[in-house]
Amino acid sequence: MPPIPRPSPASVTRYRAALASQPAAVERTMFGCPCAFVGGNMTAGLYGDDWFVRLPADERNELFATDGARPFEPMPGRPMREYVVLPPSIVADDAALARWLSRAVAFALTLPPKRSGGTKGSKAGGR
C-alpha cells in the first residue's frame, strides 16, 4: 500500500480558515490529515492536498458534473461511498469552497450522531 499523502502547511492553514465558518464542525485527524466531524460523522477533510466532502446522492451527482470532481478513494479500488474530492476550480474559489463545505456540514447534521466510547464492534450493553 502506498504511503498516505500529507497535506502541505499552506493547505492545512487554508483548510482551517475555511472550516472556521462552520461552528458545528470539529477538527480531528483521520488518515494523518485534518478532517471535520459533525456529531462524530466525518464530513470533510484533506487527504494530501485534495479536499473532500461528504454529500447526499443528488449533491454528489451535481458535483461530479464539475470537471475535476472524482470519488474519494484513499485506497486504490476502494472508494468511500458518499465522499467526493473537490475539483481544483472549487478549491481555488473561496465562495464556492464555502458553499460546498456548508452543504457537507448540512448533510452531516441530518445523520444520526455516532456514539462515543466503547470499542469498535461492541454492543455497549445491548443498547
Global pTM reads 0.88
The grid cell for 17 is 480558515
3-state secondary structure of 6: coil
Burial label, 19 (beta-carbon count in 10 A; 0-12, 13-18, 19+): buried
What mean pLDDT is reported for the chain?
90
Ordered by where they begin, the domains of the chain are: 9-110 (3.30.1460)
pLDDT in tens, 3-28: 889 999 999 999 999 999 999 999 99
Separation between Cα atoms, residue 111 and residue 93, nearest integer Å:
28
Question: Strand runs (DSSP E) across 1-127, as ranges?
Answer: 26-30, 33-38, 41-47, 50-54, 70-71, 83-85
pLDDT at 1: 66
